């Protein structure tokens, strides 16, 4: 009789084979998924832009693309042409849009943007619009989410010759897969021309400022304190244990910023105000100016809180420092003035300046 020999894999061989398949899958599947997602995002972004251009063309042909004073007014017409299923004003942006998105900052480092702060055209980098028009967010029927600002100075375009040109009247940020990840610019997020973000909290003119920080932090700068060096005039003054100015100075340092000089506060005032005739003004470090008014682009939404005193980093004596006051009025007779005050005064607030 012949002996029948059965050929089979051993359990060890099967396990080794499965392990190899698992390793190969672990190495290749993420790459395949990534490539698939990026192709899908790209295709969806192209389709969304085509849809927007078609919407703008139809609005232009119907004569309803221009003549609005605000984004809110524009959206009342826009939603009749693009299927918007949810609309949120600039106080409720996150009800329609992801709370945070990721973009690229200085030196190509990723930075997180909190979308709740994207309430105006200027906050989206559209400073050349000469307006602080509000943004709005909305959800489209295809699942994409959008933050958009409308340019009230949007020019008339001939409906035959310039059918798609008025897309430039819109600043927008589109997340083509809604609130799903990665919520990253260049991936699932598309920015319109002109929209840009930085790691600056509050860009004003060509300067980078922080948002307003209440003066609530007192730093002990008495002799022997770890913060003694914050008080360059000496730490023997009577307010060294309740030095709110030093606390503000330290807060700015922790943000990689600094308290502004009097000259820089003068530059800020020059950026915000014009004279009673609408002419540009230059306000020096120690100058007081009267009969001013806020520039039109800041009159409805000033980038700092007015009717406040702002610390400078310059001490006037052992116990006192210089600060600048900004008048709250947006009409003629506004004043900007420079004073000095005690380092333990809680009524002066912090505004940091950075690169």
Mean pLDDT by 10 residues, the chain (355 residues): 62 75 67 68 89 91 90 95 94 92 70 85 76 87 95 79 78 93 90 78 81 82 88 77 90 88 93 89 89 81 83 88 78 65 86 87
The pLDDT value given to residue 176? 94
- Write the Ramachandran bin of 354: left for phi over 0, alpha for psi from -120 to 50, otherwise beta: beta
Spatial contact of 156 and 132, defined as CB atoms under 8 Å apart: no
Give CA–CA dist 61/135, Å, rounded. 25
The pLDDT value given to residue 165? 73
Which segments of 241-352 are extended strands (E)?
273-275, 289-294, 308-315, 320-326, 334-342, 348-349
The pLDDT value given to residue 266? 92
The pLDDT value given to residue 136? 95
Spatial contact of 125 and 194, defined as CB atoms under 8 Å apart: yes
The pLDDT value given to residue 121? 85
The pLDDT value given to residue 181? 86
The pLDDT value given to residue 26? 66
3-state secondary structure of 137: strand
Query: Which residues, including other chains, have CB under 8 Å from residue 64's CB and lie 6 or more apart?
Result: 77
The pLDDT value given to residue 120? 84
The pLDDT value given to residue 157? 75
Tens digits of per-residue pLDDT, 193-248? 888 776 676 778 778 888 777 778 888 998 888 898 888 777 677 788 889 999 99
Helices (H), 62-116: 71-78
Spatial contact of 320 and 342, defined as CB atoms under 8 Å apart: yes
Give CA–CA dist 197/296, Å, rounded. 23
The pLDDT value given to residue 199? 62
Instruction: Sheet containing 145-150: give its strands across.
Output: 84-88, 135-140, 145-150, 170-175, 189-191
């Amino acid at each position: 009789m012949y002996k029948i020999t059965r050929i089979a894999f051993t359990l060890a061989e099967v396990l080794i084979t499965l392990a190899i398949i698992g390793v190969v899958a672990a190495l290749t599947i993420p790459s395949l998924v990534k490539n698939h997602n990026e192709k899908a995002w790209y295709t969806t972004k192209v389709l969304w832009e085509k849809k927007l251009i078609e919407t703008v063309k139809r609005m232009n042909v119907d004569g309803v693309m221009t003549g609005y004073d605000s984004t809110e007014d524009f959206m009342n017409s826009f939603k009749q042409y693009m299927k918007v299923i949810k609309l949120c004003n600039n106080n409720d942006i996150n009800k329609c849009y992801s709370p945070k998105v990721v973009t690229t900052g200085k030196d190509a480092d990723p930075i997180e943007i909190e979308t709740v702060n994207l309430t105006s055209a200027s906050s989206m980098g559209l400073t050349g619009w000469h307006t602080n028009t509000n943004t709005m967010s909305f959800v489209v029927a295809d699942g994409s989410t959008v933050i958009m600002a409308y340019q009230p100075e949007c020019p008339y375009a001939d409906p035959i010759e310039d059918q798609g040109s008025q897309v430039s009247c819109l600043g927008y940020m589109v997340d083509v897969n809604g609130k799903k990840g990665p919520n990253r610019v260049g991936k699932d997020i598309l920015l319109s021309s002109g929209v840009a973000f930085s790691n600056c909290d509050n860009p004003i003119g060509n300067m980078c400022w922080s948002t307003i920080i209440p003066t609530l932090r007192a730093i002990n700068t008495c002799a022997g304190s770890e913060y003694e060096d914050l008080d360059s005039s000496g730490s023997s003054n009577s307010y060294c244990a309740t030095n709110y100015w030093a606390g503000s100075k330290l807060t700015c340092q922790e943000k990689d910023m600094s308290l502004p000089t009097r000259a820089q506060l003068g530059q800020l005032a020059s950026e915000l105000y014009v004279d009673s005739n609408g002419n540009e003004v230059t306000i020096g470090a120690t100058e007081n100016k009267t009969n001013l008014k806020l520039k039109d682009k800041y009159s409805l939404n000033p980038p700092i809180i007015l009717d406040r005193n702002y610390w400078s980093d310059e001490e006037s004596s052992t116990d006192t420092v210089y600060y600048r006051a900004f008048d709250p009025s947006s009409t003629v007779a506004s004043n900007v003035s420079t004073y000095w005050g005690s380092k333990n005064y809680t009524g002066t607030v912090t505004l940091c300046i950075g690169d």
